Each structure stands twice: as C-alpha cells, then as structure tokens.
Structure 1
C-alpha cells in the first residue's frame, strides 16, 4: 500500500496495529485491548484526515497509483459482458481512449473513457491517458453507433489533457474535440459522464458533455492543472497548492457552481482503499441516473442538454 504525504499518520498507526497483532500471535501476551485502542484511533484518524482534505490533497488522491482506472470500472461493473471496439475508421486505434458495449444488470450501455497505465510499459502504451485526435474520433464513432441502436452512453473521464504533440495538432486535435462537443449536444440518447480521476482541459471536455455529469468525491475538473496554472502565473510549480485552491476544481466547488449534477461519495481513504465497494457505488449511481433519463424523448434530451450548457456561467444583473 502506497501512502501520500498527508496519509503518513495513518501509515504509522497501521504499522503499530500490525506489530501489536504479530506480538499477540507470537507470544502468550494478551494484546487484544491494545489492538482495539489502536484500531479505534486509526478509524478516527482516517475520518479526521479524509473529511478535511484541501484542494491539492484531493488532486493527489485523484492521481494515486492504486486508484482504479476506466477499464477497472468497466470490467468489474460489466463482469464478462464488455466487448471492446477499436479504431476511428480513418487513421488508427488510440490506446489512450477505449470504448465498447457492456451491460449493467440487464441494461446495455456504450462505455467510453480515457485509460491510463499502471506501470512504465503500460503508461507508454496508453500514452499516459492523453488521447490523440483519432481517440476522440473513435469515441464519436461509438457514440453515433450507440445512437443508431438507441443505447445510452457512459463516459469515464480520467485524463491530464489531450495529447499536445505536433503530430496530434497536424491531425486536427482541436477540431476533433470541438466536433465531439458539438455532436454530443445533439446526441439523441442519454449521456452519463462520470469523472473518476483527473478531468483536465479539452481532453476531458471531448467526452464530457452529458445529460448528467457525476464526480467522484476525490477527483478534479478544471480548464488547467494546478501545476500548469502555477507555472504560467508564477513561472514555477512551487505554487501548485495555491493554484489548486484558486481554480475551484474539487467536486464540492463544481457542485456549488452548478457545473456538475452529483457528487459520488468514495469509501473513506479514497476509491483505491476499497475498490470493490467503489465499483458498486459507481454502478448504482449510473443505474439511478439512467432511471431519471430513460423516459425522456430524444427531443427532450437534446433540448434539456442544450439548456443546461447554455445556462452555465450566466450572470443576472440586479
């Protein structure tokens, strides 16, 4: 188990608890009371730390190396029903953007999302979750396929941004993202967006337009990362914590600004601390959200979706 800097008090208590248990097993000394006291202290410390996280600490949790990624959610939510689909039918198959058909219980969905890697080799293979234009075009192709067969769309957002390389710009990165945003406003099936990690810039918006946008508790959603914001304003990454607070990028901030629709609570300690529980929570949230949307006609879906995004950022003068 890897611990972040602010989690070190938890690590110390966890180690003390394990040591006490080992002493009890290897000797005739009764340490049950000690173990109970440490366990109680551990629970209280976890609650105290995770209920009072600042913006930068939530950013760190969203990037935790043990945090589940898109394929983890899909494979565990859909069990054995997921069928991955490949290619944009134009240039190639982007490994940073995955998509395909799957079922939650008896309901079919088209799942789309950015996929990161879990070690050096897979991170390079997945391009660190940064999609090229063909990734966004593949996502749009799958959305159009879902629309044709009246299948709702679920998008998992987890990216540090769209790939900024020269070759991506040459193939029309900006156009691909803009096209997706436009087409998603017009899609005649329900779209549910779930931010499961990092939601950065146009890379997130390229699959981020939905009838309902859900954010897991320890994720962030912003036009720019705290580090990049700090480097632009202060010419240094040293002010990333200040930038994180100023950007108002947490789930609570997004909800208060009415830019998302719902915050999905995570187990204490973050999504990685109890992955099975997290999968169940997200699966339930998707099904509940679909129940709210399934009886709306295609015309109503499009109309309400456009109203929702046109209304963002509106100011009323008194």
Structure 2
C-alpha cells in the first residue's frame, strides 16, 4: 500500500501494529492488550483524518496509484461479459478512451470511459487518460450505436483533461468535444455518468452529459486542475492547495451547487481500501439511476435532460 503525505500517521500505526503481531507470534509475551490499543488508536486516527479532508487532499486521493481505474470498474461491474469495441472509423483507435458492451444483472449497457493505466508503461500506452479527438469520436460512435439498439449508456470519467498537443488541435479537438456534448444532449437512451477519479475540463465534459451524474466521494470535477489554476494565477504550482479550495471542485461542493445528482460513498480511506465494496456500491447507483429513467418516453427523457442543463449557471436573455 502506498501512502499519501497526510496518511503518514496511519502508516506509522499500521507498522506498529504489524510489529506487535509479529512479537506476539514469535515470543511468549502476551501482547493482546497492546495490539488492541494500537488497533483502536489506528481506527480513531483514520476517522479523524478522512472526515476532515481538504479539497487538495481529496484531489490527491482521486489520483492514488492504488485507486481502481475505469477498466477495472467495468471488468468487475460486468463480471466477464464486457466486449470492448475499437476505433472511430475515421482516423485510429485511441487507447485513452475505452468502450464496449457489457451486462449488469442481465441488463446490457454501453460503457465508455477514460483509462489511465496502472504502471508507467501502461500510462504511456494510454496517454495518461488524455484522449485525442479520435477518442471522443470513438465514444460518440459507440453511444450512437447504443442509441440504435436501445441500450443505455454508462460513462465513467477519470481524466486530467483532453490531450493538449498540437496534433490533437489540428485534428479538431474542440469540435470533437463540442459535437459530443451536442449529440449527448439529444441521445435517445438513458445516460448515467460517474466521476470515478479526476474530472478535468472539456476532457471530462466530452463524455459527461448525463441524465444522472454521480461523483464518487473522493473525486473532483472542475474546469481546470488546481496545479494549472495555480500556474495561471500565481505563475507557480505552490498555490495549488489554495486553488483547490477556491475552485469548489469536491463532490460535496458540486452536490451543493446542484451540478451533480448524488455522491457515491467510498470505504473509509478511499475506494482502493476496499475495492469489492466500491464496485458493489457503484453497481447499485448505476441500477438505481437506470431504474429511474427506463420508463420515460424518448421525448420526456430528452426534455428532462435539456431542462437539467438549462438550469445550471446564471444567465440573462
């Protein structure tokens, strides 16, 4: 297990507990009470740390290297029924954007999401979860396929943003994201969107228009990352914690501003501490959202979606 800087008190107590248990096994000394005391202190320390997380600490948790990525979510949700589909039928297959068909409890869904990779080699292969225009065009192709066959769509967001390279701009990055937003608003099947990690900028919005939008507890959703915001405003990354607070990017902030529908609770310490429980909880929210949408007519579904997004923000005509 890897520990973040604010989790070091937990690491120290866990190390003490491990040593205590080893002493108990390898000697005749009764250390039962000592181990119980350490365990109790460990549990209290965890509760105190995780119930008082700052915005920046939640950003750190959303990026934890042990946190389950999109493909792991899909694999566990579909239990072997996932069939990945490839290519945008125009340029190439973008490895940062994955998608395909799978079933949850016998109900078929079209899954679309960004995949970061679990080690350095895979992160490079997946372009660190930063999709190119062909990735968004692939996502749209799969969503339109789902629409054709009446299959609901589940999008899983985990990206530091769309790829900002020159070649991406040359191939129409902005147009691809804008096209996705336009088409998703008018898609004739239910769309359930879940932020499972980072939800940054247009890279997230390109697959983020949903009838139901859920955020996992320790994730963030914002127009810009705290580091980039700090770099623009203060010409330095040193103010990233201050930027994280100002951006109001946590799940609680987003729910308070009515930009997401609900928060998916995580196990104490984050999704990576108990992945099995995490996957079960995510499954429950997907099915709950689908059950609330499945009986709506196409006209009502689109009208409700349009109204949902029309209410966001403040504007005058």
CA shift, 1:33, in A, is 1.1
What does residue 52 of structure 2 align with? 52
CA shift, 1:8, in A, is 0.4
CA shift, 1:315, in A, is 6.1
Stretch of structure 1 that moved more, 292-301 or 174-183: 292-301
SS for the counterpart of 2:29 is coil
What does residue 37 of structure 2 align with? 37
Residues 24-71 of structure 1, C-alpha deviations (whole Å, 9 max, x = no match): 000111111111111111111111100100000000000000100000
SS for the counterpart of 1:213 is strand
Q: Which runs of 5+ in 1 are unaligned?
A: none
Runs (4 or more) in structure 1 with deviation over 6 Å come to none
SS for the counterpart of 1:154 is strand
What does residue 67 of structure 1 align with? 67
1:211 to 2:211 alignment:
yes
What does residue 292 of structure 2 align with? 292
CA shift, 1:118, in A, is 1.2
Q: Which runs of 5+ in 2 are unaligned?
A: none
What does residue 108 of structure 2 align with? 108
1:279 to 2:275 alignment:
no
Q: State the TM-score, normalized to the length of structure 1.
A: 0.98
What does residue 192 of structure 1 align with? 192
Q: State the TM-score, normalized to the length of structure 2.
A: 0.99
What does residue 247 of structure 1 align with? 247
Residues 145-191 of structure 1, C-alpha deviations (whole Å, 9 max, x = no match): 00011000000000000000011001000000000000000001000
Alignment of 1:124-273 (within 5 A): 124-273=124-273
- d(CA) in 2 for partners of 1:155 and 1:83? 15
- d(CA) in 2 for partners of 1:314 and 1:234? 27
- d(CA) in 1 for partners of 2:96 and 2:282? 22
SS for the counterpart of 2:65 is coil
- d(CA) in 1 for partners of 2:21 and 2:54? 33
What is the RMSD computed on CA atoms of the aligned residues?
0.8
What does residue 16 of structure 1 align with? 16
Instruction: Give aligned pairs, total.
Output: 316
CA shift, 1:136, in A, is 0.2
- d(CA) in 2 for partners of 1:125 and 1:264? 30
